[in-house]
Structure formats: C-alpha cells, structure tokens
Amino acid sequence: MDALIQCFSSIDLTTLNATDTMERGRTFAENVNRFAALYPQMPSVAAICVYPALVPAVRQALKVPGVRIAAVGGGFPASQTYSSVKAAECAQCVENGADEVDIVISLNHFLSGNYEEAGREIAMVRKALGEKAHLKVILETGVLKTKDAIIKASFLAMENGADFIKTSTGKLEPAATPFAAEVMCCCIRDFYQHTGKRIGFKPAGGITVASEALEYRSIVREVLGDEWLTPSLFRIGASRLTNNLLKDIFQEDLALF
C-alpha cells in the first residue's frame, strides 16, 4: 500500500491532446484541488503537465501547495524547429507560471551523430529557463533502440543541464520500457558517483496500471536506492494510471481524474 501511495505522489498528471482547451487545463487543476479537499490524508500528485498554452489556466486554478506545473516545450513532441524558438518557448512557459519544462532531445541531430549540436540545444534551453525551473529531457528511447544510444543520450542530457531524464513522449511506439528505464537509472547512478549531482528519472508513455508503475519504482529502488523514491527525483508521466492507482488504494472506483 505504501508503494502504491508513493507512486501516486510521483505522478505528473498529463493531458497532451490537440483538442485540449483552457477549460480542460482548469478542470485538471480543479480535480487536484477537489481530491486534496476530499482526501487530506493522501499526498497530491507531483505535477500537472500540459501544453504551453494551458499553463496560465492551470496556474490560475491550482490551489494545492506543492503541486508543480509542467509544460512541454521546445517544439514538443518532434523537436523539429529552430533552437532560438525552442529556447524562447520554454522561457515563456516559465514566465507564464510553469515550474518545470519537458523537452525532447533533438533526434534530428542525435540520430545524425551531431551530438555537439544536440547538447548545445539542451544547454541553450537550460539557460533560458533560469535557475528556478526544472528541465526534463525526453530521450524518446523507443527510437534509440540500442543500449549504447540510450547511454549516450542520457549523459548528453545530464551533462548539458537536465534535472530529469525521461523515457518517452508517449507519441511514438514503443514508449517506456523496463529495459530503457534500467539503462537510464544506471547512467544516473554513474553520473551521481562522478559529480555528486542527483538527476531525476521519469518513465512516461503507456504506463496505465499499478503493476507497471510498481515495476518502474522497483527499478529505481534497486539501481538508485530509496533516496530517489521522492517526487523531487522520481516521476511517472501518466493519465489513465491515476484513477487506476486510486482504485487499488481505496478498493473502489473513484474516477476523480
């Protein structure tokens, strides 16, 4: 039960649809507010994750202390736009109230072997965000395919300012996999051992039931240790998972999110 609750507290409650409206952003925030009022003994989700245009609506409606607002930026999900546009979009997300920004590593550059440019873009966004906002870098591990490529992308992101590395956008298949999660967590462990800096890990894409969330939690615990099992270092990108976890925790279908 404690593990289920911990997974719930690590969720980035996510809506990333082309049909999302400002009202949907407000509804997500209001659902988090309502849950906190109905179940004060439970932790809240870690964050609400939306497209940049919805950030002001979420910021205005969200009343629960500690729940962060995350925006997907940098030309999400394809990351196929100009570096200056990526940096400007991410900076505006923060100006409008985002605490965190999730970007996709430039696969255009990375898959071409132009690692220097891929890293430069991450560093450029990191600088644009300023000191307070957290940067999550999505590796899109399903298209990287090999262990070596995932390792290369993980270190490239961490060395250029990522606060979290994240498996997937959820827009391409395969999305999150236990294999990619273990490789990424090993990279985070090695980076910590060499630098003393703790980088967070976020699996995302296709995680819908408690058993899957618990599997990723187990990988984090085994590779990185219990100190990583906190929302400041472990997140799960999810939408359907939220209600499914609550169903297992309360043994009834609450359907609050």
Active site residues: 102, 166, 202
Local structure of 152: helix, strand or coil: helix
DSSP structure class, residue 205: S
In angstroms, the CA 257 to CA 254 distance is 9
Instruction: Please state, in angstroms and as integers, the Cα–Cα distance from residue 54 to each residue in 109, 204, 257, following that order.
Output: 29, 20, 17
In angstroms, the CA 237 to CA 100 distance is 13
In angstroms, the CA 201 to CA 198 distance is 10
- How, if at all, do strands 200-202 and 236-238 pair? unpaired
Q: Which residue stretches of 39-76 are H helix? A: 55-61
Local structure of 138: helix, strand or coil: strand
Place of tokens 């409606």: 61
39, 71 contact by CB (below 8 A): no
